[in-house]
Amino acid sequence: MTDVQATTPVSSTDREVIVSVRDLKKHFPIAGGLFRRQVGAVRAVDGISFDIHRGETLGLVGESGCGKSTTGRVMLQLDDATEGNIFFEGQDLTKLSNSQMRKVRPRAQMIFQDPHACLNPRMTVASIIGEPLREHTDMGPAERRERIEELLSIVGLDPSHANRYPHEFSGGQRQRIGIARAIALNPDFIVCDEPIAALDVSIQAQVVNLLLELQQSLGLTYLFISHDLSMIRHIADRVAVMYLGHIVELTDVERLYDDAKHPYTEALLSAVPVPDPRAEDIRKRVILEGDLPSPSNPPPGCVFNTRCPIAEQKCSSEVPEWREIGTEHWVACHFAE
């Protein structure tokens, strides 16, 4: 388990790896019975490994309950990992004490989904954005104020609005405040957890364009978690597809969308509606039967076997190997080639 070299599955390029995740598991205990003993576990993340290269955007896609948000939270140690390792610039975050982790936090930040819930309604925008500066730097009040105003103009907000409260802003503007807070300490790596899911279509493009600009100008690396496969195609360099706690396919974005090898990826892509009636008429759809199994009781063998259109006997008994079938194209399916 700790032998990282032997299990290094994904980095066959010479690009610098900023984050690597190895055999990561996160199980949430289920308590039951008279003494609230643990009677089972929700296997939210059940053994995933991948690398993120410096300066890239890795898209992490999947449906609700597949474990994509948990992955993001555990990577930043907002939740403890049950098993496995997370290396951030070579340092294993799972082994760090709280005070050591605090030193890493300025460089690894998060943007949350719901801009209503993640901003304290009783704090002004200046104090929300200033909080990380107060905690992690020795800036004086005047210097801090200057930085806050600079950050507000970077994210496209009026610096003179620094003393307003979150409720005075629209959803898109609130997400910009969340972004300003995340970039306040010049991080290297940001986990974006569904940052546009709560926004209207015309506002989504504004926020995505801002994230892409910031990536260029500040040299950021993103883990972009989303269920929106069209937006992932637009924003990501490589994409990992999750299903029931496992990554089933990982490759660069063009290959995934043009030549998906895992039957789940194919079904997922074919289910996304395209805003073009002509294209919709000729598209081939793979409609999956049934629903997502419970992550507290995942099916044996391949986790997708209960809904897979090409499943055979061995899929329900043998766990498919996570293997590289082409350069930088990883799939967990017995039949992918």
Question: Of the candidates 37, 103, 116, 285, which one interacts with other proteins according to CB under 8 A?
Answer: 285
Number of residues interacting with other proteins: please give it, by CB under 8 A: 44
Whole-angstrom distance, CA of residue 227 vs CA of residue 61:
5
Question: Of the candidates 78, 218, 271, 325, which one interacts with other proteins according to CB under 8 A?
Answer: 271
What pairing do the DSSP bridges indicate for beta strands 246-252 and 221-226? unpaired
Whole-angstrom distance, CA of residue 47 vs CA of residue 49:
7
Question: Of the candidates 272, 300, 314, 325, which one interacts with other proteins according to CB under 8 A?
Answer: 272
Please compute, for residue 297, the number of CA atoms within 13 A of its CA located in the half-sphere on the CB side. Answer: 3
Q: Which helix (H) or strand (E) holds 174?
A: helix 171-183
229 is a contact residue toward other proteins (CB under 8 A): yes
Question: Of the candidates 41, 257, 299, 324, which one interacts with other proteins according to CB under 8 A?
Answer: 257
204 is a contact residue toward other proteins (CB under 8 A): yes
User: Which CB sits closer to other proteins, 202 or 313?
Assistant: 202
Q: Which stretch binds other proteins (CB under 8 A): 49-57, 73-81, 98-106, 227-235?
A: 227-235
What pairing do the DSSP bridges indicate for beta strands 329-331 and 246-252? antiparallel
Whole-angstrom distance, CA of residue 85 vs CA of residue 7:
11
116 is a contact residue toward other proteins (CB under 8 A): no
- The values of phi and psi at residue 91, to 5°, are -95, 130
Specify whether the CB–CB gap between 162 and 173 falls below 8 A. Answer: no
Helix, strand, or coil (residue 332): coil
Question: Of the candidates 148, 208, 241, 303, which one interacts with other proteins according to CB under 8 A?
Answer: 208
Q: Which stretch binds other proteins (CB under 8 A): 114-122, 126-134, 200-208, 317-325?
A: 200-208
170 is a contact residue toward other proteins (CB under 8 A): yes
Whole-angstrom distance, CA of residue 120 vs CA of residue 127:
10
Question: Of the candidates 86, 182, 231, 308, which one interacts with other proteins according to CB under 8 A?
Answer: 231
Binding site for other proteins (CB under 8 A): 63-64, 170, 172-173, 200-206, 208-209, 227, 229-231, 233-235, 254, 257, 267-281, 283, 285, 287-288, 291-292
